[in-house]
Amino acid sequence: MGVQVMSSPHFLVVLLAQIVIFWTKKTIMADSRTPSDMSTALLISVDQSGHGDYKKIQDAIDAVPPNHKELVYILVKPGIYKEKIVVPADKPYITLSGTQPSNTIITWHEGGSIFDSAVVTILASDFVARYLTIQNTFGRSGKAVALRVSGDRAAFYNCRILSYQDTLLDETGRHFYSNCYIEGGTDFICGDAASVFEKCHVHSTSEVGGIITAHHRSTPRENTGFTFLGCKITGSAGTTLLGRPWGAYSRVVFAFTSMSDAILPQGWDDWRDPSKQRTVYYGEYKCYGPGANRAKRVSWSRSLSTKEALQFLNKNMIGGRGWLRPAPTHFKKFYTINSEKTKENN
């Protein structure tokens, strides 16, 4: 009898309907966390002198209730903030902003694991950073991440990201970097994210054998890759390569990018695994400068045609039109958060 019920068309229809309802409810719940007003943010100030809501950046982040439903704008007053920072996954829609990167600096000194050494770790979605310097001062003796980005839909504007090895762990998700300065020597932009770097300055501090990118992408089905649009690459002459494959299907494209003589003529490396030459996707399109000369490039890199390059010349890979947002224009006092939290507790 039980077998007959389980196999009946009516039962299957009911089961399918229940599954649809379940996932619809989950989608509605997820969508309900999206702020209804994207122009107004709750304002929290951080000031080391004690004239803000908090003296430490992490304390300000900790004060934000989990799964809050409004934009939160944390304004960091000028200063050198010696602390490690984590934005947890249950705190989306946070903006962390300084006034200018030269005077608003987050710094720490730690090497070792690429996951644990990061000065700033972003696990939340819909995060924005503006006008900050994020620096790991560990030096050249090992892996030392300045910024780890592991949340989806993260954007960074006019930030400076500094270390030597694995400076930017662009781990997973869709990300956008605009007018940022990124500095390092070995694999200093690495990870498996889908990211667009627009008008960024990439500077190699390597003296020999430097590598800019180490993109992962382990299968051709992953829609990930690093795209550099209208960027600038500098460094000491003949000291660095554009990239090498952390994963077999590593994908990196440079377009309309100024390349100084820091770039070695061969351009790319297979990380001592010739089999990856058949699977990586390393492309260049209308780049210029002495480092952009492709006469001696490795044969398995690509000089892209306009048709091939088109998919990389916009933000479609990261779906940018759907989530990139301007800075808020209206602000509410931080006590609004505390008031709502108090009401819930009562």
Residues 19 and 95 in one domain: no
Q: Do 135 and 220 fall within a single domain?
A: yes
Q: For tokens 């770790």, what's the residue?
A: 121
Confirm whether 108 is domain-assigned: yes
Calpha distance 112→129 (Å, rounded): 25
Mean pLDDT computed over 282-295:
98
Instruction: Verify that 81 and 140 share a domain, yes or no.
Output: yes
pLDDT tens-digit profile of 231-243? 999 999 999 999 9
Instruction: Give per-residue pLDDT as tens, 58-110.
Output: 999 999 999 999 999 999 999 999 999 999 999 999 999 999 999 999 999 99
Are residues 24 and 101 located together in one domain of the fold? no
Q: Is residue 61 part of a domain?
A: no
Q: Is the domain of 77 the same as that of 16?
A: no
For residues 10 and 121, membership in a common domain is answered with: no
236 is a domain residue: yes
Distance of alpha carbon 320 from alpha carbon 56, whole angstroms: 31
Statement to judge: residues 277 and 128 lie in one domain = yes
Task: Please indicate, yes or no, whether residues 233 and 99 belong to a single structural domain of this protein.
Answer: yes
Check whether residue 93 and residue 190 sit in a common domain: yes
Instruction: Tell me the two tokens of residue 160.
Output: 């400076």
Does residue 53 lie in a domain region? Answer: no
Domain assignment present for residue 59? The answer is: no
Confidence (pLDDT) at 23:
43
- Please state, rounded to an integer, the average pLDDT across all residues of the chain: 90
Whether residue 27 sits in one domain with residue 138: no
The H-or-E segment that residue 345 falls in is: helix 335-345
Q: How far is CA 168 from the centre of its chain?
A: 8
Beta strands in 289-336 (DSSP E): 302-303, 330-333
Report the catalytic residues: 166, 187
Domain count, the chain: 2
Instruction: Write out the residue range of the structural domain in which residue 156 sits.
Output: 72-329
Return the number of other C-beta atoms located less than 10 Å from residue 86's C-beta: 16
Domain shared by 229 and 296, yes or no? yes
